[in-house]
Amino acid sequence: MEVTRGPVLPGGRASSAGGMRAPCRRRSARAAAGPAIFLKNGCAMKDEVLKISQTSVAQALAADYFCIYYVDVSNNKFIEYSSSPEYRAFGLPTGGDDFIEFSRKHFDALIFPEDQERFLETFTKDNIIAALDAHGFFTMTFRLMFGGVPTHVHLKVTRMIEQEKRHVVVGISNVDDQMKSREAFVKAHHARVTYSRIAQAMAGDYFCIYIVDPDTGAFAEYSATEQYSQLGISKAGEDFFGLIRGSAERLVFEGDRGRFLAVFSRERVLSLLERDGSFTTKFRLMFGGDPVYVSMKATLMDDEDGRHMIIGLNNIDAQIRREQEYQRKMADARTAAKNDFLANMSHDIRTPMNAIVGYTNIANSHLDDPAVVRDSLAKIGSSSHFLLSLINDILDISKIESGKMQLSSGPCDLAEVLRRIEDITALQAQSKSLEITYMHSGISHFKVIADELRIEQVLINILSNAIKYTPEGRSVGLVAEELPAQASGRNRYRFIVRDTGIGISEDYLPHIFESFTREQNTRLNRVQGTGLGLAITAKVVELMGGTIAVRSKVGEGSEFTVELELEPLGEAPLPSCEETTAADLAGHRVLLVEDNEINAEIATIILQQYGLAVDRARNGQEGVDKVRESGTGHYSVVLMDIQMPVMNGLEAAKAIRSLDGGRSLPIIALSANAYDDDVRDCLDAGMDAHLAKPFDPEDLAAVLGRLVLARGTCAGPQEKP
């Protein structure tokens, strides 16, 4: 008898198709890859059915799969039963000794990158066996790359019907269309749910929401509160803009009505929407006779349903009321701060003015007693300098806060700066019976490029503050030291001012450098001042690129530390001038251009003390005429006021420079215009120097010496207000 073997399946069993017949004892048989078939016509029928089930049916089912593998789970060997042309294009082996290793070796190169990690974690022998034992199958879905396009596939592992349960079938089917349809459905459903929830949530914050056709004006109300519905506005119609504008007379607060009608028209709203993407206006609606702030916002949407406008009226009444209350409190606070400042300034200005007026009267009533007159004049001078310091503080803080303060760097000798500081503050300390010490032995390089007047201002402010708040019999000290240089090549300096005074409270310490502040303490409120000194000091230090810090303890004292980086100058001698005397200036003629009689008289007396002959002009035009008529060389210098009638000082300086010989004539601005911009304007107009009123006679003499006697060889205060 001829025996024909069918295809050998994994495990060595021959298929029955066309081969040895199975016994007829069993009533039914199931093909390895096919559905159950119940036999009714004996063994002949059974054989025929088995042939069909193991060939045609298996092949028909395999057509729905990219590929099918048979795997022997006892030894992991596998063979490919069928595969599609797309799958064969991968060039994978059709059989092998380890299916799991084969899968992990090749599939990770073919699987979509975002799915690779999940595939490698999930597709393991242990996971597959556990799923087969629990459910009879193992499945997973992932994406394979076919022609560079990720395609969803479904992998299913099932056991073959065998007693030993050694073999499994692994099939990979194309489920891309189903997955994409499912994803699209989920996405659309999620979007509908999300938009619906968002719209419902947002509608709760709005009085009403309308959907409007921008082309026709047709509209429908999407949502509205009960309060808004009571206004009696139509919920749908053909002309939204006409409806709202027609209702404005009745519903919009009278004070906002004109502005609302000016901006709310179909043409204007659409124009702004197309330009900016949104339109917003705020106004007040009348609810039960009360105006309520609302914000109307319009947006333009263009989707698959067409183009439409969404318009919502948001209730912002509480927000506006809070903002108004905040602004009112801020205005009250600004007013209170201004009033406190003015009260302090009034007190601090009237105190030295009282001394000036009082001692002037005393001197006048004791003209026959030189000692009383001298004492009165000394106290008038002291009070005048204090009054001037108040004014200078106001000017400085104003310049700082407006960004107009500028540094004037030049050659600087720190030793000379420290000497001047010592001269000034030692007298202050002596008047309060304080012990004051100065140490600067730690400085090796005194010659730098810096703004010496600002350094002097900073240290004098801190020292004066320390002296002011230190009780009699205690001590104040200044330590100046040089720190190790850094890579920048600039010299580093540290200035420390220590006192054993009353100290600063922890609550006030964070505000110590703020403008117009004083600690609310009875011991401090007896002290005069604007409360600007330390604020100015901190701003100037910051402007110089330095740092300032303070630490203090109430009852024990305070310590201020300033650190600066300054450009080294070298040890070459700095240019200097001998003190200018009356003999030096005698015989020179000055043209004083000044419209104020008292100022002219003061300047004339001071100039005559230096032996100068003085001519006066009462405005800029008269000054120009005198220079023109007198000829070259008649005047040695011009002292020029700025604010004058007919022609101001800037115009007069420019006119003089245009005259024959006028370019070489020194012109010094002598003006109450003391900002840095004023100084710069004077220099730009052709003047050689600037002195601010009230001026120090010694400063004036120094500038005259530089410009008249030794032009260009001496350092003068021309750049300082």
Tokens of 197: 């929830």
Contact indicator for 567, 449 with CB cutoff of 8 Å: yes
Nearest CA among 99, 55, 102, 77 for reference residue 10: 77
**What is the pLDDT at residue 464?**
87
**What is the pLDDT at residue 135?**
81
Extract the runs of DSSP E, i.e. beta strands, from 118-186: 137-146, 149-159, 167-174
Instruction: Tell me the residue length of the chain.
Output: 721
Helices (H) and strands (E) in the chain, counts: 22, 26
CA 535 to chain centre: 24
Residue 603 reports pLDDT greater than 60 = yes
Percent pLDDT > 70 in the chain is 78
pLDDT per position as a tens digit, 234-275 = 888 888 999 999 998 899 999 999 999 999 988 999 888 888
How far CA 286 is from CA of 256, 289, 309, 397, 625, in Å, comes to: 11, 6, 25, 48, 71
Tokens of 12: 């060595």
For tokens 């260009």, the residue is: 712
**What is the pLDDT at residue 593?**
95
Residue 188 reports pLDDT greater than 70 = no
Residue 504 reports pLDDT greater than 80 = yes
Which architecture characterizes domain 406-568 according to CATH?
2-Layer Sandwich (3.30)
SS3 content of the chain, % helix, strand, coil (to 5): 45, 25, 30
- Distance (Å, whole) CA 608 – CA 665: 20
Which architecture characterizes domain 28-172 according to CATH?
2-Layer Sandwich (3.30)
**What is the pLDDT at residue 617?**
95
Options 1.20.120.1760, 3.40.50.11540, 1.10.287.130, 3.90.870.40; CATH of 331-400: 1.10.287.130
pLDDT per position as a tens digit, 450-493 = 988 889 889 988 998 899 889 999 999 999 999 987 767 889 99
**What is the pLDDT at residue 519?**
59
- Distance (Å, whole) CA 285 – CA 224: 15
**What is the pLDDT at residue 333?**
78
Options 3.40.1050.10, 2.40.128.110, 3.90.1150.10, 3.30.450.20; CATH of 204-315: 3.30.450.20
* Bridge partners for 498 per DSSP: 477, 559
Tokens of 178: 């189903």
Nearest CA among 417, 408, 406 for reference residue 574: 417
pLDDT band at 403 (very low <50, low <70, confident <90, very high): low
pLDDT band at 648 (very low <50, low <70, confident <90, very high): very high
pLDDT band at 199 (very low <50, low <70, confident <90, very high): low
Q: Mean pLDDT score of the chain, rounded to an integer?
A: 79
pLDDT band at 59 (very low <50, low <70, confident <90, very high): low
pLDDT per position as a tens digit, 320-376 = 999 999 999 888 877 776 777 677 667 667 777 888 888 899 999 999 999 999 988
CATH dotted code for 582-709? 3.40.50.2300
Biggest distance spanned by C-alpha atoms of the chain? 165
Contact indicator for 7, 16 with CB cutoff of 8 Å: no
Contact indicator for 297, 278 with CB cutoff of 8 Å: yes
pLDDT per position as a tens digit, 414-423 = 998 898 888 8
- Distance (Å, whole) CA 203 – CA 209: 7
Among 71-80, 329-338, 504-513, the least confident range: 329-338
pLDDT band at 629 (very low <50, low <70, confident <90, very high): very high
**What is the pLDDT at residue 214?**
87
pLDDT per position as a tens digit, 287-319 = 888 999 999 988 888 766 678 888 888 888 888
**What is the pLDDT at residue 189?**
58
- Distance (Å, whole) CA 119 – CA 466: 76
Q: Where are the domains of the chain?
A: 28-172, 204-315, 331-400, 406-568, 582-709
Residue 568 reports pLDDT greater than 70 = yes
Alpha helices in 252-316 (DSSP H): 254-263, 266-276
**What is the pLDDT at residue 148?**
84
Nearest CA among 76, 131, 80, 79 for reference residue 101: 76
Residue 522 reports pLDDT greater than 50 = no
Among 98-107, 190-199, 556-565, the least confident range: 190-199
Residue 594 reports pLDDT greater than 70 = yes
The SS3 of residue 189 is: helix
**What is the pLDDT at residue 19?**
37
pLDDT per position as a tens digit, 140-160 = 999 988 888 899 999 999 987
Question: What count of Cα atoms within 13 Å lies in the side-chain half-sphere of residue 186?
Answer: 6
If you compute the radius of gyration of the chain from its CA atoms, what whole number of angstroms results?
49
The SS3 of residue 369 is: coil
**What is the pLDDT at residue 454?**
86
Among 30-44, 162-176, 375-389, 539-553, the least confident range: 30-44
For tokens 């024909």, the residue is: 4
pLDDT per position as a tens digit, 690-716 = 988 888 888 888 888 888 875 544 433
Q: 28-172 with 204-315: one CATH topology?
A: yes
For residues 531-560, average pLDDT: 88
